Structure formats: C-alpha cells, structure tokens
Amino acid sequence: MSTKYIFVTGGVTSSLGKGIICASLGRLLVARGLRVTVQKLDPYINVDPGTMNPYEHGEVFVTEDGAETDLDLGHYERFLDIKTSQENNVTTGRIYNDVISKERQGAYLGKTVQVIPHITDEIKSHIVALGESDGYDVVIVEIGGTVGDIESLPYIEAVRQFRYDVGRENTLSIHLTLVPYLSAARELKTKPTQHSVKTLSESGLQPDIIVARSEHELDESIRKKISQFCNVEVADVIASLDAESIYQVPLLMQGEGLDERVIKKLKLDAGVPDLERWIGFVEAVRNPSTEINIALVGKYVEHHDAYKSIVEAFIHAGAVNGCAVNIRWIQSDHLTKDNVKDKLRDISGILVAPGFGGRGIDGKLSAITYARTNNIPFFGICLGMQCAVIEYARNVCGWPEANSTEFDEHTEHPIIDLMPDQKNIEDKGGTMRLGLYDCKLKKGTKAYAAYGEELIHERHRHRYEVNNNLRYKLVEEKMILSGFNPERDLVEIIELKDHPWFLGVQFHPELCSTVNNPQPLFVDFVKASLEHAREHDLNIPVDGERIVVSET
Ligand code: GLN
C-alpha cells in the first residue's frame, strides 16, 4: 500500500481544535493497526518557535532529535503514541531559509526564484520526505492558520498541486469549520462554513469531508444544508461538539464515523479498531475516586498553554493513581516569604516550572523552602531544579549569595553556570542543549525507584547546568545527585533523602508522557502528593460536583 496523505485545513476562525482533530483521527487509524504520523505546517516566518515568548505561542515542544516545535506535536505524540521529529514540523521561515540557502549555493542557477514553483516544491518535498521516512500508511498534514490568510496561500497551493502529483485517490482533504449558534434566532448558522469552503475552493482545493465545530448537535437538516452548499455527501459532514476532555474527542469522532469515511475514501486496508485501553483511560479520567491540589509555580501561568505538556502529564499520572489533579496556578512574581504559606494552603504537592530569565525567581525560591522545610512533595523541572539547587546552596550549604549566572553573572558562588561550550555562542535560535540525552541513575534513589532501570533517556532544552566545580558542597550537605549524563558527567537529577518526595530534574520529563505510557516521575510525584493529602486530610472525595480550585 502506498502512503496516503490527509490534508486538514481550518476555516472561519482559529482555536477550533484542528490539532486535536488531527491527533484524534490519527489515534483512530492507529487503533486499526495502521502506521500513521502527523505533520504540522506553520505559516509564520520564524524558522522555529524556539525564539518565541510562551505568551505568544504557548509551550515549545522539543522532539527527541532536538527540534523546537509547535505544541500540537505534543498532542500527536500523546494521542498516537509515536515519536515525532524535526520533519513533523515545517514553518514558512524554514522553507524560505532552505530555498534561499539553495539559491546562494547555485541550485537554481539561471532561474528567477519564485513562490511557485520553488517555495511550493520545497513544501511538497517536506511532505513526501516525512511520508517516505518510515513507510507510513497515512500522513495527516495539519495546515496551520485559517483559510483566506495571506500566509497560508503557498501551503494551500502546494496541497492543490500535491493532489495531482500523487493522484487524487491517494489524498483526502478535510476542512474544519465553525457552525455558530445564534441564540437570538435560536438557530445554527451554516453561512460561515459556506464562505470558508468557497474561499478554499477559490484556491483550487475542494473538501472531501467537513468537520463542523459546534456548541449544539447538528440535526439532519443542517447536515443536508452543509452537504448541498459545500458539495460533500451528508455522511461526510462530521459534527465536532465541545468535549469535557480532549481525550474524549477520538471517541466522539468515531461516533460520527470520521474514521469509517476516511478508510472508505482512501481505500485503506484497516482492521477493526482496538480502543479498549483508550476507553479505560477516558473512564479513569472522568471518574476519579479523589482529587488533589497541586501548585504549579511559574512565570507564564496566565497562559496555560505555556505548560501544556505538564498539564497533560498530570492527567496521565492522575489516571494511573485514580485521582484528578487540580492545578492551582501560582504566579511566581506574587509569591513572597510572607505569603507563601497562605498561597500554598491545602496544597498536596508543589511543582516549580521550567522557564527563562530572572523574573519571579525569589517567589520560586520561597515555594521551594516551604516545600523542603514542611515535607511537602516537590518536583522541580529544569529551571525548577536549578532553583532547588540554588535554594539548597543558600539555605543549607551556607552560601547566601549562591545563584545562577543566568541571573547574576558575578555571583561568588555560581552553583548554576553556563556549560563551557555555551559560553561563546551568541545566536539565540536553536543553540541550547536540545533533545534526547542519556541519564544514568544511582541505585537506591527515588529516581531509580520510579524508573525501575539504570539507563534512561529524556529530552532537554536549556543552557545552564549544575556547576561541576561547586557541586561537592551539595554532596557534603547531603543533597543526593541521583542521575548523571554519562558522556559529560553533568548532573541530571537531584533529590533529598529525609523528605517524602523532593526531586528536581534538568530535563523535561513532561514531554514524553503519553496516554499509554505515563511518565514515571509524574506518576510517583502524584502518588506522593496523594499520600501527603491523605496524611493531612487534604484530599477531597468526589461526590458529584467537581471542586474548582480558584486560580491565584
Ligand atoms: N533558563 C534555564 C537554562 O537555560 C532553564 C531552562 C528551562 O527551564 N527550560 O538553563
């Protein structure tokens, strides 16, 4: 079977959940035994989102091969249980960068370099390269942005050409659109969908399936109307209603027959779907036996997408432990020594988040002191781990000025410092320690107990490290360095012995947590937090109504 390509465009507005629809369709096809991957084409000029502010773009998702990519790739990995790579995310910036480099090398000698065919050819070559990279049955290609945007045009044109290149029967076009409900008229409106399909058609791309996002059930007459005006069969109008959890969306899409229609149209050789584990997971998420409150202390907490993978890893780990994790978002700027006790009341665990720059560091340090001295489970990720080391150096090792050179270049005790090979780098894009690295665990530690094996591999995204010249002091004062990168002898994990669960990691464990493979440290942290809640009478039994913790 040759590779089939499904192109997913979006119309009317952003935020319709295109990434989740692609991931859900992917899950349904994987459940039928097909080899599937998903690619995101982003229309912005940045070469990758690595240099964007989390407020601007949300989390930067790092792949195993060290690419800084769109957070939708996180959904693809979590839903399909696959690993993505640089090839799964292409931006306009990267396409132009590559074309311009080729032009300078003389690849187009004698020619005028143009959007059509040079840019469109480059886009198509990235789509094919992914399809051919691993013998996939299906590549789902999500086209970022909204149809009609100037930025999306080269992508739509590339898809139009692509359908001719590989044969229409090997491709499918799915258009995600909005069917709004006007309460004054008490009616669902199809006009925005008609317009959006018209705009798409003007670019030469006709949808085969329409996924209509709506807050209300689409009745037969609405489906017929969309079918007639948009030139698709009634069965190809798929309703996408709001779901309680994103993990329900594959099941809702299956109910609407999305996978059936795709299989039929592409003549895919697919088995019967095996969704037993998925359904079990969704049931566990929907019916927790208890709830706990975990504080997420960070700098970008107003924008929850900045911590997307952490939130999802908590959902996976909660399901394993039979509990729902309520995240209390704590702006690190607002935390002080004096208010920490009040802001962190009723909290069963504290996570200090990754981040960059000095803003809010004092608040993070206050939260860590509070967790350490009150035996509250603590999990520090990347910057969160670096802060735990600074806190320990200051308050236990007796170096009150200890700091990271990221915040104080001239500190007497730079307990966190730049790696020597980072010191001369001036470019900001793609220059961190990125991607998968080995980590060797010390037996008898909490980290080893969680993973149950000695050599693990986790993804990284940082410049600074625990300073190898000063780390002796941490060890002298009984901090346990429980994981090291064997090639470069870098500290990867720290923990405390006389504490129920106090652990910091230099890597990003949240990035590899999936529904079928919840990340072990998250599972153990939630377990420890659950025990803390039980001991201190903090867990809240679920008795019908979900308790919503106020956001700080
Ligand atoms: N700013 C820190 C560094 O670059 C931590 C980065 C992070 O938390 N991802 O090392």
Interval between CA 269 and ligand 1 midpoint (Å): 46
- For the stretch 444-468, pLDDT in tens is 999 999 999 999 999 999 999 999 9
Judge whether 60 and 68 are in contact, CB under 8 Å. yes
**Range with the lowest mean pLDDT among 157-161, 311-315, 419-423?**
419-423
Q: Which of 296, 407, 463 to mutate to test the pocket of ligand 1 (most atoms within 8 A of CB)?
A: 463
Q: How far is the CA of 505 from the centre of ligand 1 (A)?
A: 11
Q: How far is the CA of 203 from the centre of ligand 1 (A)?
A: 43
Is 269's pLDDT higher than 90? Answer: yes
User: What single letter denotes the amino acid at residue 459?
Assistant: R
State residue 549's pLDDT score.
42
If pLDDT is split at 50, 70 and 90, which confidence band does 542 have?
low
* pLDDT of 226: 97
Q: Which residues are 503's β-sheet partners?
A: 379, 495
The confidence score (pLDDT) of residue 552 equals 39
Q: Would you say residue 546 has pLDDT above 50?
A: no
Q: Are residues 37 and 82 in contact, defined by beta-carbon separation less than 8 angstroms?
A: yes
Q: What is the token pair recorded at 30?
A: 């994987």
Per-residue pLDDT averaged across 90-97, rounded?
A: 96
463 CB near ligand 1 (under 6 Å): yes
Question: Looking at residue 537, what is its pLDDT?
Answer: 84
Q: Is the CB of 355 under 6 A from ligand 1?
A: yes
Query: Which residue in the list 59, 510, 512, 532 is annotated as catalytic?
Result: 510
How remote is the CA of residue 462 from the centroid of ligand 1, in Å?
4
Instruction: Answer whether 297's CB lies under 8 Å from 353's CB.
Output: yes
Report pLDDT digits (tens) over 205-242. Answer: 999 999 999 999 999 999 999 999 999 999 999 999 99
Residue 303 annotated as catalytic: no
**Cβ 382 under 6 angstroms from ligand 1:** yes
User: Which one of 57, 508, 512, 532 is the catalytic residue?
Assistant: 508
Q: Say how far apart CA 407 and CA 401 lie, in whole Å.
A: 12
Q: Which atom of ligand 1 is nearest to the CA of 382?
A: 8
- Atom 6 of ligand 1: nearest residue by CA position: 462
User: Which residue stretches of 61-152 are H helix?
Assistant: 72-80, 92-105, 120-133
Cβ(459) to ligand 1 under 6 A?
Answer: no
Paired tokens of 195: 């317009």
What does residue 219 show for φ and ψ, rounded to 5 degrees? -80, 175
Judge if the beta carbon of residue 462 lies within 6 A of ligand 1: yes
Q: What is the mean pLDDT of the chain?
A: 94
Annotation marks residue 382 as catalytic = yes
Q: What is the pLDDT of residues 21-63, one digit of tens each?
A: 999 999 999 999 999 999 999 999 999 888 888 887 889 999 9
More confident call, 259 vs 545: 259
Cβ(232)–Cβ(273) under 8 Å?
A: no
* pLDDT above 90 as % of the chain: 89
Q: For the residues 173-186, what does the mean pLDDT come to? A: 95
**Cα(first)–Cα(last) distance of the chain, in Å?**
53
Alpha-carbon distance of 290 to 287, in angstroms, equals: 9
Tell me what the mean pLDDT of segment 360-382 comes to: 97
Q: What is the mean pLDDT of residues 492-518?
A: 97
Going by pLDDT thresholds of 50, 70 and 90, the confidence category of residue 545 is: very low
Longest dimension (CA), the chain: 76
Strand partners, 72: none
Residues across the chain: 552
Establish whether residue 306 lines the binding site of ligand 1, counting it when its CB lies within 6 angstroms of any ligand atom: no
Q: Which ligand 1 atom sits nearest the alpha carbon of residue 406?
A: 1
Query: From the CB of 74, is ligand 1 less than 6 Å away?
Result: no
- The pLDDT tens digits of the residues spanning 392-429 come to 999 999 999 999 999 999 999 999 999 877 777 777 77
Mutate to test the pocket of ligand 1, among 59, 68, 461 (most ligand atoms within 8 A of CB): 461
How close is the Cα of 45 to the center of ligand 1, in Å? 24
Q: Which atom of ligand 1 is nearest to the CA of 461?
A: 9
Range in 65-74, 258-267, 539-548 the model is least confident about: 539-548
Hey, which of 59, 361, 383, 409 would you mutate to test ligand 1's pocket, going by the most ligand atoms within 8 Å of its Cβ?
Answer: 383
Distance CA 372, CA 501 (A): 9
Three-class SS of residue 237? strand
Checking if the pLDDT of 490 tops 70, the result is yes
Ligand 1 near 34 CB (within 6 A): no
Pair of tokens at residue 513: 């947590």
CB 284 less than 6 A from any atom of ligand 1: no
At 547 the pLDDT is: 40
Q: How many CB atoms lie within 10 A of CB 152?
A: 21
Residues sharing a CB contact under 8 Å with residue 63, sequence separation 6 or more, in sequence order: 69, 73, 83, 84, 85, 86, 88, 89, 435, 459
| Confidence label for 123 from pLDDT (cuts 50, 70 and 90) | very high
Looking from the CA of residue 354, the nearest atom of ligand 1 is 8
Nearest CA to ligand 1 atom 5: 383
pLDDT above 70 (res 543): no
Tell the residue nearest (CA) to atom 1 of ligand 1.
356
Q: Are 473 and 393 in contact (CB under 8 A)?
A: yes
Q: Where does the pLDDT of residue 166 fall: very low under 50, low under 70, confident under 90, or very high at 90 and above?
A: very high
pLDDT for the residue 425? 73
What percentage of the chain reaches a pLDDT higher than 70? 97
Q: How far is residue 514's CA from residue 81's CA, in Å, rounded to a whole number?
A: 6
Nearest CA to ligand 1 atom 8: 354
